[in-house]
Structure 1
């Protein structure tokens, strides 16, 4: 009678013992509990610090630069200094990518084999990376083509700002429809103001509810001056309404030009700021980033929650969002297949479709695999073309998410600190005026002659990537990193570089200060230390590094040539605190924009 109970108790105790037992040689870290692992400790510290990167900093100080945690079924080894990150990136034993549910499902919407280019490994990764680099050089990454695309988008952004200024400086009695039209564009106008007598014309408003407050007042039949100006000041506002000045939301002002540059290389398409399709695409991207964490998602750590709590774990939203973006990409693919000219491919999608539809497909990795099967190549291609098309769509998803999101956030960080540091803005504009003047827009080719503005690019990226992490790796076999044994254990072991530990540490002396001069040597030339590796290095170096830096340089200099950016009079200075997420971003902030020329 007691035997079944005793056996159950023994099995339960064995389960608890094995669940809390760390593999031999694993780096130190918080205690593991059965099922949960280190989850409770990580949650506690994250609530205490407010951010994941600060949580990792606390753990690093306690356990050292290399430590391990267990979240559900995943064992995660975090690397928090230059030596450990470099050791991992130069170790072929660490070239694998995670294989958990999250990484499989993000590219197909269901658990099948991994595809795409960012989270694949082995021969497939080598081939797809080579293809993307080769063809994007042809359709954009090539210096001349890329420069012209970026410069064009930067000029579109400047013209867009000018139109907003023009709308802002029209008489305040214009129709509410025109005001609504302006506010719907990227870089929203929240308030019309003047450079003079500003303190007499501003009215206290709710800081965190500006947009909803404006909408409410418009619905009540009030004009824009009703919303922000006291009744006694109407006449004064009418007198100064022609002055130059507008308030723009800068934390989300760069998504369109960055996306357009990349999207034109991938699909040959350019969007206008108010394009409904673009807004839909941005909405999907925003939701996608809310559904995941920096190294996975709750349903990935605890797969059973996909069935027990699909909504609470984020699984349901994750699947729905990916289904929407896959439908969007598939629609674009079908349009390309219908309109493609095989003799003149115009973008990355055309080039990939050409490979799928020609015998050159047999030279690709997938084609070589098929050649080992005793069926004709053409029949084999037909039977798996859906998978190959899925690979193309996954590449587009990777490039879209990795390229547009990171660059636009780096720009947001850059302008946040430019606004908070008027001396930096002044020095940048002095260099722009000296080297370029005002008769022509900045060009990418000017970058070599403008070290200070180039240093702003490097510092903007440091401030952004210093709050985020790199793409996880996986140990392909038992290996060592700076003396620590990293056992393969199973395919749920990840190795994650934490860039905060190398880009925001004491090496920089004043890491929290935005100081472009740190990248300029005594000869006045750019000097980049080895510790600066936000784009990784070696064969794992980010494919889009050149595009990202070029985008940031051209957009920043083009805007600074034409406009002055400053703290809104009467507002507190924008906060340097971040919004935690899959990639860190500055908290929403608005700035006063006035024309220089």
Structure 2
């Protein structure tokens, strides 16, 4: 009777207002934080903290307000942000098993479908990670065959630099060099820097990294069903990835046509063999779709971050010529000009080794890492974190933690040198993240960065373009990349 009376008493406008108020109350009740949950900005009903940018600079500012652990809400999904070395170390190392899963991220799952290595969970993730680690040990990490391949690519890289007749943007060439190492590893061959089809694939992938950092693209995670029908950068991301996966599917198809199980040439061949082995275990996820997505995982992990780090390195060398000269003095003393650098030279080149580490620290290429999800109820930094909660570790705050670095906001290779000028490790150096979700290709990336960097500085002196002053302020993509700049090179 009461409900009937209320219904009869309301006009259309009042009914709409009542329904809206009820929905707000439902949203507040459903999304109420549990006791002792990390504090954070007040969320907007239905949308969460939609007006809070999800970039590392904003996260650093929020840390000053709410502390080193706080929370935000993307739609109805709660996300905890952990900052500072002590808290991040607790999450990634001491609670590595607890924060081993990936959360549901519609913007990425649209393409990666929660398969492969980077975005899968549970048994499929465990099996794919185990298989990929085994392949890297067989075909690469620290093996002479891979080092020889990197040395060959160094020749192509230096030749491409030498062919430039004036100021040029190094993005195109460095991207080609870094991607070729991964291409050889997974596809069995490299691509010429002027291969238009392959360079277009790299451009599409770079554009995805750039657009993914846009707030408008991240809105897709709030309401994917709605945004599926709306234009925006998310549509460009999906179309780019579709073209990239089409390209990779073509490469897989070529491999299947002349595949010899007794003579595996690369990652694709090994994966095809694993598909056969796991026919009785479909839950492991080894199939052609899994192969294509895993290839995409490896290409993205091994190309964009190395390219961006190398670009930061070249930028720092032209901005700090005195550091460039010290690196070249060490190269001349240890390697000379009569042979190529090799990875074993690293132990005899503490200053160059320290400079590369400082490039990674100061460059801050992957400032927020990649989100993880709690597999069980836990506590972090004294706060309660319920099972299923997403967590983002602010790696930028670790690499610039004033409690861990003498001059955190200054480019300073001495961070990695002891009082005797010898290289020293720092526990707060986490550019590759840490724990069970740390970058699989960390050792490969270390080899590439050392050999590319030393090869270039062995052969060239680098300087800025006479008509521009490049900025040390980067652009916030999914990664943190240098703004476009040009360099001049002169043979030494």
* TM-score over 0.5 (shorter chain): yes
Residue 21 of structure 2 corresponds to residue 13 of structure 1: yes
1:494 aligns with 2:390: yes
The answer to whether residue 248 in structure 2 is matched with residue 324 in structure 1 is: no
Give 1:18 shift.
3.9
Alignment match of 1:503 (pick from 399, 420, 428):
399
1:154 CA displacement: 0.9
**How big is each residue's C-alpha offset from its partner over 1:522-562, in whole Å with a ceiling of 9 and x where there is no partner?**
23322112111122233333211111111111011111011
Does the aligned pair in 2 maintain the 1:251–1:586 contact within 8 Å?
no
SS in 2 for 1:35: coil
Distance 1:467 1:257, change over 3 A: closer
Q: Please tell me whether residue 22 in structure 1 is matched to residue 25 in structure 2.
A: no
Please, what is the CA RMSD of the aligned residues? 2.2
CA distance in 1, matches of 2:474, 2:112: 28
Say which SS state the counterpart of residue 168 (structure 2) adopts: strand
**Cα distance in structure 1, aligned partners of 2:408 and 2:391:** 25
Paired with 2:410 and 2:99, the residues of 1 have a C-alpha distance of 34
Alignment of 1:126-137 (within 5 A): 126-137=126-137
Q: Does 1:594 align with 2:471?
A: no
Contact 2:101/2:375 (8 A) holds in 1: yes
Listed as ranges, the matches of 1:348-387 within 5 Å are 348-357=267-276, 360-361=277-278, 366-367=281-282, 369=283
Give the deviation of 1:8 after TM superposition: 6.4
Corresponding residue SS for 1:93: coil
Q: Could you say which residue in structure 2 is the equivalent of 1:395?
A: 294
- Whether 2:85 is the aligned partner of 1:82: answer yes
In structure 1, the residue matched to 2:115 is 115
1:460 matched to which residue of 2? 359
Structure 1 position 9, deviation (Å): 5.3
Cα deviation 1:408-463 (Å, max 9, x = unaligned): 10011111111111111010000000001111111112111111111122111112
Deviation of 1:342 after TM superposition, in Å, equals: 1.2
Q: Which residue of 2 aligns with 1:174?
A: none
Give the 3 Å change call, closer, same or farther, for CA 466–160 of structure 1 in structure 2: closer
Indicate conservation of the 8 Å contact 1:251/1:590, yes or no: no
Q: State whether structure 2 residue 255 is matched by structure 1 residue 336.
A: yes
Are 1:96 and 2:13 matched, yes or no? no
Corresponding position: 1:248 with 2:168: yes
State the distance in 2 between where 1:315 and 1:466 align: 22
**Residues 57 and 153 (structure 1), Cα distance of their counterparts in 2 relative to 1, 3 Å cut:** same
CA drift of 1:259 comes to 0.5
SS at structure 1 position matched to 2:436: helix
Q: Is the aligned partner of 1:163 residue 2:163?
A: yes
1:308 Cα shift?
4.6
Residue segments in structure 2 that go unaligned for 5+ positions in a row: none
Alpha-carbon distance between aligned partners in 1 of 2:170 and 2:239, rounded to the nearest angstrom: 29
1:27-56 Cα distance to aligned partner (Å, 9 max, x none): 01000120121112x14xx8xxxxx21111
Offset at residue 294 of structure 1 (A)? 8.3
- 8 Å CA contact retained: 1:444, 1:554: yes
Aligned to 2:57: 54
| Runs of 5+ consecutive residues of structure 1 not aligned to the other structure | 47-51, 109-113, 169-245, 371-383
Q: Give how far 1:155 is off.
A: 1.4
1:287 aligned residue: 207
- Which of the two has higher C-alpha Rg? 1
TM-score, normalization by structure 2: 0.91
How far is the alpha carbon of 1:252 from its aligned partner? Answer: 4.3
1:522 aligns with 2:419: yes
Deviation track 1:152-210 (CA, whole Å, cap 9, x = no partner) reads: 1111111222233xxx3xxxxxxxxxxxxxxxxxxxxxxxxxxxxxxxxxxxxxxxxxx
How far the C-alpha of 1:290 sits from its partner, in A, is 3.2
8 Å CA contact retained: 1:151, 1:444: no
Give me the whole-angstrom Cα distance separating, in 2, the residues matched to 1:565 and 1:100: 41
TM-score using structure 1 length: 0.76
Corresponding residue pairs, total: 477
Correspondence 1:405 to 2:416: no
CA offset digits 1:193-244 (Å, max 9, x no partner): xxxxxxxxxxxxxxxxxxxxxxxxxxxxxxxxxxxxxxxxxxxxxxxxxxxx
Map 1:249-328 → 2, pairs under 5 A: 249-293=169-213, 297-309=218-230, 311-312=231-232, 314-328=233-247
